[in-house]
Amino acid sequence: MPKKISKVLIANRGEIALRVIRACKELGIQSVAVYSEADEGALHVRHADEAICIGPPESANSYLAIDKIIDAAKQTKANAIHPGYGFLSENPLFAEACEKNKITFIGPSADAMRAIGNKTSARELMEKANVPIAPGKNDVDRNDTKTILTEIKRIGVPLLVKASAGGGGRGIRLIENEKEALEIIDLAANEAASAFGDATIFLEKFITGARHIEVQIMGDAHGNVIAFGERDCSIQRRNQKLIEESPSPAVDEELRTAICNAAIEAAKSCNYQNAGTVEFLLDEKTKQFYFLEVNARLQVEHPVTELVYGVDLVKTQLKVAQGESLTNLFPTQPTPRGWSIECRINGEDPFSEFMPSLGLIGSLELPNGPGIRFDSMIYEGLDVPLFYDSLLGKLIVWGVDRQEAIARMQRALIELQIGGIQTNIPFHQELLNNNAFITGAFHTNWLEENFVMPS
């Protein structure tokens, strides 16, 4: 039975740790930050009620060390853990460790994670739940060349070979003709084995010119699931999202209802609880959509949903984890208002193949004005560690419509000044002024196929 949360340990770092700390403060819940030796001067360490060092800079010995995080929770008497995103957030062993130690895990159960964490089993689960999936072949044996070539002929090229245990865009390769198929499958399987310790792969029809549409869902302990509309995440480079917006310029009210209903059925198929995202590929020409995967955690891009739906998703996570019912929290279905866009601000050089650029933040000027939000870990004088990803913060804007949101983001990107390191702000400025983006005429491969940064 869920219990009242009095103190939350945040098993993460950076802007998401700050985001959770702020939600805890507003609910009168104590917070505990964990940090590696490289993050001793981080903002989440300063803002939490308590902070405890869990090891050296390397993630494997700190933020990914389940035993150290559980010990930190016990030492500080935290009775709940919020995993944020990345690191251990989708690790069923971590959720089980919390349960074993009678610590509330603010996220889905280990069983739900396992059911949807493996992409091939997730496809099978969705098929049973009547959630549309793209034509494909599960559990491909890389050594059974005869079956592989037969399935490729059946599915048709182009198609994707994907790692079953994949994530973060890794273990994904495009097969454009049959002659190169076997070589590409070997490359994908080897990459999967190296990245995830699992070489299992599957084949999936490649939807040309597809949009990447995802639905924010929230489930409670009483069997209720709510969908908070869709986000469009089609602006990607190397399968990594760079800009997200809500709603999608490609989705009308009828399609929104259908895709949200499918997301709810996907969540119910595995008794999903707490925050999650169901991702789909949308064939914009036919309006047919296909299940892609479930992210069993809060997403980086959750703020655009918050601004459009007027909801605090982190506070909702905390309330749901305590056993509160979504029917009480949301007596009526939340409805969208306006438009929101998020730009991921990374420490990288857009003029040098987006090479990482981390180090000392020499100066910082933040954007201000109506409808602007900057969720960030940085401050003037911070020496950004080289041990973690390059995300510095998220610039989010809200406008009454897409036109105003774009104009507001253009202004905010000019006002946001980060000195001392290179950032991808110039990339976002060029993109926000690109006619294809302004008119909404883009898809998941548009950026890499059509967009070139001026030198």
| pTM: predicted TM-score of the whole model, two decimal places | 0.93
Name residue 365's beta-bridge partners.
417
> What pLDDT, on a 0 to 100 scale, did the predictor assign at position 17?
98
- Contact between 224 and 327 (Cβ < 8 Å): yes
d(CA 216, CA 301): 10
- Cis upstream peptide for 454 (omega within 30°): no
d(CA 53, CA 238): 34
List, for residues 200-217, the tens digit of each pLDDT value.
888 999 888 999 999 999
Question: Among the options 13, 256, 297, 408, which is catalytic?
Answer: 297
> What pLDDT, on a 0 to 100 scale, did the predictor assign at position 30?
98
At 70, give phi and psi (nearest 5°).
Answer: -65, -40
Strand 159-163 to strand 201-205: parallel, antiparallel, or no bridges (unpaired)?
Answer: antiparallel
- For residue 132, give both structure tokens: 């549309």
The structure tokens 């702000």 sit at 425
Compute the 3-state secondary structure of the chain and give helix, strand, coil in percent, each to the nearest 5.
Answer: 35, 25, 40
d(CA 272, CA 76): 29
Residues (pLDDT < 50) of the chain are: none
User: Residue 435 burial by CB count (10 A; 0-12/13-18/19+): exposed, middle or buried?
Assistant: exposed
- For residue 234, give both structure tokens: 């089609």
How many other C-beta atoms lie within 10 A of the C-beta of residue 372? Answer: 18
The answer to whether 19 is a known catalytic residue is no
Of 30, 26, 31, 41, residue with least CA distance to 361: 41
- Contact between 304 and 272 (Cβ < 8 Å): no
